[in-house]
Amino acid sequence: MRLFHRWKKLPSAGRLGALTIALEARGLELEEVRLYPGVITQSRWGEADEDTVDIRRVRFDLGLASYVGDVQTVVSVGLHALARRIERGTTAGLAPILADLQTLAESYRRIIEGPNSFRIPVSSGGHWRGVIMRSPDGRPQLTVRTFVGERE
């Protein structure tokens, strides 16, 4: 019960979309999608790792006798791609950029089925481009490499 009330008090900054949280007789269930700092490391890049903004799905299911929790990186957006979004997007400001990042998160299940490279259009104009890669835990994630404006 304490976790339920404390989680609801967490700042919404960095959360994409709504918090899904339910406290019922059988336990607590919660799910949210949140932004985190990250890094992409590839052995062929040498020491040239790429800093990212990661979109992670956080899920918890706490019962009286069981606990299941998972934090999964579903999308990594390179800072280069984010800078291109700021440069080439038709709308400026934090709210439209967060909406475009939320579109990435919502596209995960559809895009992960393939092909390996993807193009995800956004309502603010233009589209994200990237490839599906394996995260350090072996699960697939969308890795966004750039943003292309609608006139390009």
Q: What is the pTM of this model?
A: 0.88
Tell me how many domains the chain contains.
1
pLDDT (0 to 100) of residue 2 = 86
pLDDT (0 to 100) of residue 25 = 86
Residue with tokens 């699960």: 139
Q: Are 47 and 72 contacting, i.e. CB atoms less than 8 angstroms apart?
A: no
Query: Residues near 25 by Cβ (< 8 Å), separated by ≥ 6?
Result: none
Expressed as residue numbers, the domain containing 61 is 2-148
In whole angstroms, what is the distance from residue 89 CA to residue 148 CA? Answer: 8
pLDDT tens by residue, 42-96: 667 667 788 999 999 999 999 888 899 999 999 999 999 999 999 998 888 899 9
Query: Nearest to residue 72, comparing CAs of 141, 144, 3, 7?
Result: 141
Q: Long-range contacts for 12-19 (Cβ within 8 Å, ≥24 apart)?
A: 16/55, 16/98, 16/101, 16/102, 16/105, 17/102, 17/105, 17/106
Query: 152 or 115: which carries more pLDDT confidence?
Result: 115
Per-residue DSSP letter, 107 = H
Q: Are 89 and 4 contacting, i.e. CB atoms less than 8 angstroms apart?
A: no
In whole angstroms, what is the distance from residue 93 CA to residue 30 CA? Answer: 29
